[in-house]
Amino acid sequence: QPVIQLRDIEKVYQTKTIETVALNRVNLTINKGEFVSIMGPSGCGKSTLLSIMGLLDEPTGGTIALDGRPVQSYSDKELASLRNHKIGFVFQSYHLINDLSVLDNVELPLLYRPGVGGKERRERAYAALEKVGLGARTNHFPSQLSGGQRQRVAIARALAGRPEIILADEPTGNLDSVMGEEIMDLLLGLNRQEGTTIVMVTHDEQQALKTQRLIRFFDGSQVS
Ligand code: ADP
Ligand code: ADP
């Protein structure tokens, strides 16, 4: 069943002098449990698409439905909750906080979650770090880890929130091929074993071919 439906999505960035059409009438449905990859040249709108799917940014046209319900019909409070609980983000550059330990980085998003106390927060963070194979590194700091390990911390941070959907923007873009493959295997495992829906932007065709569906973008539109 559909978890994210985009209908005629348009995104125009307007600055004083230039207007950029980042997305041009995109129609796309992501179904529950799918692992979809998105490829396309730099600037074709992939990051914008993920931000819109993750409700971090609003389209300038078109409609989005989550779980079959249009986002306009959710209250602001419900939307904030969806953004925090339903969706986990993973970025190319990890976005970890360097002066927090691995464990504290993973716990951080749960600090603002109502109903999750300190004990549960810690348990969830440990469990997520175990899952990504970093159970022995909880007291390390990001600077003491390899790129692949840092990305695994970022994935653990997303997992601690128990998201139904992971949106990953070039998660292996800063990694060598061996570490990239590790991260890819981790994502494939989450998808297969836990049924997490994943949408991943990538420049790596080999990785994209391992996912269930490959969508190609060009100049703000889907081309295949
Ligand atoms: P991709 O992720 O495929 O590299 P982006 O979604 O980042 O593409 O960008 C799509 C287009 O929108 C590009 O032309 C980019 O320069 C432009 N763009 C992205 N974000 C902004 C912004 N905040 N303001 C103005 N233009 C933007
Ligand atoms: P990444 O490749 O790590 O996904 P980018 O380097 O493409 O990210 O973009 C970083 C940020 O800058 C994004 O949030 C994007 O929206 C914004 N951005 C991209 N292009 C432009 C632009 N032309 N003007 C303003 N902001 C932009």
Taking only the tens place, the pLDDT of each residue in 96-135 is: 999 999 999 999 999 988 889 999 999 999 999 999 999 9
Which residue's CA lies nearest to atom 16 of ligand 1? 43
* Cβ contacts of 128 within 8 Å, gap of 6 or more: 106, 156, 157, 159, 160
Give the full edge-to-edge strand order of the sheet including 87-91. 87-91, 165-169, 197-201, 35-39, 213-218, 221-222
Question: Best substitution site from 18, 38, 39, 48 to test ligand 1's pocket, by max atoms within 8 Å of Cβ?
Answer: 48
Say if ligand 2 is within 6 A of residue 202 CB: no
User: What is the complex's ipTM, to 2 decimals?
Assistant: 0.71
Q: Which amino acid would we find at residue 206?
A: Q
What atom in ligand 2 is closest to the CA of residue 170?
A: 4
Cβ < 6 A, ligand 1 pocket = 13, 20, 22, 40, 42-48
Q: How much is the pLDDT for 85?
A: 86
pLDDT in tens, 68-88: 999 989 998 898 888 888 999
pTM: 0.88
CB atoms within 10 A of CB 134: 21
- The residue ranges of DSSP E strands in 50-173, in sequence order, are 61-66, 69-70, 87-91, 165-169
Q: 221 C-alpha to center of ligand 1: Å?
A: 13
Say if ligand 2 is within 6 A of residue 47 CB: yes
Q: 49 C-alpha to center of ligand 1: Å?
A: 10
Proportion of the chain above pLDDT 90, given as a percent: 91
If you ran DSSP here, which 8-state letter would residue 27 be given?
E
- Burial label for 150, CB within 10 Å (0-12, 13-18, 19+), is buried
Interatomic CA distance for residues 103 and 137, integer angstroms: 8
- Beta bridge mates, 35: 198
One digit per residue, the tens of pLDDT, for the chain of length 224 reads 999 999 999 999 999 999 999 999 999 999 999 999 999 999 999 999 999 999 999 999 999 999 999 998 999 889 888 888 899 999 999 999 999 999 999 999 999 888 899 999 999 999 999 999 999 999 999 999 999 999 999 999 999 999 999 999 999 999 999 999 999 999 999 999 999 999 999 999 999 999 999 999 999 999 98
Decide if 177 contacts 100 (C-beta within 8 A).
no
Ligand nearest to the CA of 94: 2
Token readout for 114 is 């109502």
- Burial label for 141, CB within 10 Å (0-12, 13-18, 19+), is middle
Q: How much is the pLDDT for 112?
A: 80
